[in-house]
Amino acid sequence: MIILGAKGHAKDVLSVLAKNKQLQDLYFFDDVSKDLSEKLYGIYPIINSIDEAKLVLQQSPEFAIGLGSPKSRSFLCSKFLSLGGKLQAVISTSASIGQYDVELGPGLNIMANVYISNGVKLSTGVLINAGALLHHDVSIGRFSEISPGAIITGEVTIGDFVSIGAGATILPKVKIGNNVVIGAGAVVTKDIPDHTVAVGVPAKIIKSNY
């Protein structure tokens, strides 16, 4: 399997795969960074070209996302799907996931010690980072990122390509639009429209047309 990325979040994904004992035939992909060695931690090969990635996918088409940024997650995912790759989820064995009316889309990253209640719906490519809490009847759109320790309370709706900062809290029934950034530690008490950045306690919009 190829992990998209070889820095930052990709290393956290490796931790989950190690605990899940899913390390066989594992590669990492990064065609941007110039400071990488040939192997991550001297063990796992790093692919640095699309041509090389094609060869690996011909042997084993599975790939997973190891990037944090919603737009980067979406871009590389689309690229690898166009090459014939098969998108896989990475889900930590320490995550607690509800048993009723839970919908998990393809290509998720659900990291260590995440709590997901019942009635939760996660779309394609969503990242739920370590220690985040998702309470009942939450819906999260495509490729959105919930950072470590964030609290998403009941009946919250989050759109596509959203980034919720570390330790942020989204209060019940709030709706967050598409392409929104919520700052670390923010407390969101009311709906946030598309293409905005909101920070603070309570959260206020500081930038529009983002």
Q: What is the pLDDT of residues 110-161, one digit of tens each?
A: 999 999 999 999 999 999 999 999 999 999 999 999 999 999 999 999 999 9
* Helix, strand, coil abundance in the chain, percent, nearest 5: 15, 30, 55
136 is catalytic: yes
68 is known to lie in a ligand binding site: yes
Phi, psi of 106 (to 5 degrees): -75, 155
pLDDT confidence bin for 36, thresholds 50/70/90: confident
Give me the mean pLDDT over the 183-188 stretch.
98
Specify the pTM. Answer: 0.94
Catalytic position from the list 9, 135, 136, 195: 136
Same fold, 2-88 and 91-199: no
CATH architecture of 91-199: 3 Solenoid (2.160)
Residue matched to tokens 């820095």: 7
Beta-carbon-side half-sphere exposure of residue 170 (alpha carbons within 13 Å): 36
Please state, in angstroms and as integers, the Cα–Cα distance from residue 28 to each residue in 7, 14, 119, 128, following that order. 9, 10, 34, 20
Domain parsing of the chain, residue ranges: 2-88, 91-199
The pLDDT score that the predictor gives to residue 35 is 86
> For 2-88, CATH number?
3.40.50.20
